[in-house]
Amino acid sequence: MRNGHAWIEIDSQAPSAIGKIKSADPERYKNMTFIPGPISDHFADNIPFVTEITKESLRAAYDEFKKEWWPATLQSPEIIAAASYALRSGQLGLRADRVVLSGLSQTGGVTRRFITHSSHLRLPDGELPFEGFIPCQSGGEALPDFPGSAIIELLGESEFQSVRLSCGVSGQMNETKHRRPDSEGFRLYEVAGMAHRESRYASQTDLKRWSVADLKGAEWSTFANSFIYHAVFDLMEKWTKDPLFTPPPSAILKTVGDSDEIVRDFHGNALGGVRTIHTDVPLARLIAATPKGRPNWYWAIYRQRAGQALRECIDAGFLLDADAETLRRETVEKVSF
């Protein structure tokens, strides 16, 4: 947005729109209607959570959740396409030249489903509703190309079920079946050390919700998820604007064969994938429910190494200059061993 772009949030899914948004302000949303169906309370408003269970049963639990959820969101694709038309036609006080559809977590799944199930939808003038798609923090089967539109799939390592297993939380990934070769319109970026939710800039609501967690001596991560998103959205903006622009090739985490077991360095941090200052000059082991441990072999040269890591991230295209300065100011300069 600081570069002159706009952002709009669409709640196109009936269970949440009726169960959450409309119930929060019935007067404002009194004219909002959907095809009758179950609302969010019916789904307990939760991704399945269990303990002492296997990756296979976690995956099966989420698959069952989706079998019930998707039929309750029949109008979602048309609403999403209509929102694109509203943005382009000036109905919302601006006139967009290009529109990109993106979602994170469950709405990342919505974005993926639009790609796989709604490629037939068009705007009134016959054009495609979106120039690009950025499904984030979701996963599933490998996405097909979407002729005429670019796709960047973004996944943090916390989406891998091998990471989630210890927390008993299911997800949308199925081993590494989401991986596929690059094409003229597809890239996949798997980010080492990146959590599902960002704790660096957490809201007060999130902090209150997380306060009951037993960190066992660890601290919430300062990994800058949002800076990765900034860089990826910038890549998409350039990719959809300039026919000659080529984004960086896909970057995938190092895993054991085709499994989702991540290969790690001697600190315990993931190898491969998109690299950041948090993994290349680590202050801690980044892993679910693991106490913090500080490697001390580079204390004296930390700032030098951190500066090099920031420059490498910028050169690789996954960190913007303004965000690099924020990391330097808020993270590097405040480190005290």
> pLDDT digit string (tens) for 285-313?
875 643 233 333 344 566 777 888 888 99
- For residue 214, what is the DSSP state? -
Residue 128 has pLDDT above 90, yes or no: yes
> What is the distance between the alpha carbons of residues 16 and 73, in angstroms, rounded to a whole number?
10
Q: Please state, rounded to an integer, the average pLDDT across all residues of the chain.
A: 87
pLDDT tier at 77, thresholds 50, 70, 90: very high
Going by their DSSP bridges, the two strands 150-156 and 100-104 should be labelled as unpaired
Nearest CA among 197, 203, 219 for reference residue 292: 219
Q: For residues 228 and 175, give the distance between their C-alpha atoms in angstroms, rounded to a whole number.
A: 23
Q: Using an 8 Å Cβ cutoff, are 156 and 194 in contact? A: yes
* Cα separations in angstroms, 175 against 82, 107, 159, 252, 284: 34, 20, 10, 13, 26
Return the top range by mean pLDDT from 36-45, 247-256, 259-268, 293-302: 247-256
pLDDT of 229 above 60: yes
Quick one: 336 exposed, middle or buried, by C-beta within 10 A (0-12, 13-18, 19+)?
exposed
The pLDDT, as a whole number, for residue 46 is 52
3-state secondary structure of 269: coil
| Element at 55 (helix H, strand E) | helix 55-69
For the stretch 175-221, pLDDT in tens is 999 999 999 999 999 999 999 888 899 888 888 888 877 777 788 88
d(CA 326, CA 100): 26
Read off the pTM.
0.84
The mean per-residue pLDDT over the stretch 31-55 comes to 67
The CA dihedral of 328, 330, 336, 337, to the nearest 10 degrees, is: -70
If DSSP codes are grouped into helix, strand and coil, which group holds residue 326? helix
Cα 107 off chain centre by: 9
- Positive or negative, the CA dihedral 47, 258, 312, 333 is positive
289 is written with which tokens?
């429910």
- Distance in angstroms (rounded) separating the CA atoms of residues 114 and 83: 14
Confidence at residue 293, expressed as pLDDT on a 0 to 100 scale? 34
Gap between the Cα atoms of 67 and 17, Å rounded: 19
Torsion of CA 223, 226, 231, 232, to 10 degrees: 110
For residue 297, the SS3 value is coil
Among candidate residues 270, 273, 277, 272, the one with its CA nearest the CA of residue 312: 277
* 144 and 115 Cβ atoms separated by less than 8 Å: yes
In 37-121, which ranges are E strands?
Answer: 100-104
3-state secondary structure of 94: coil
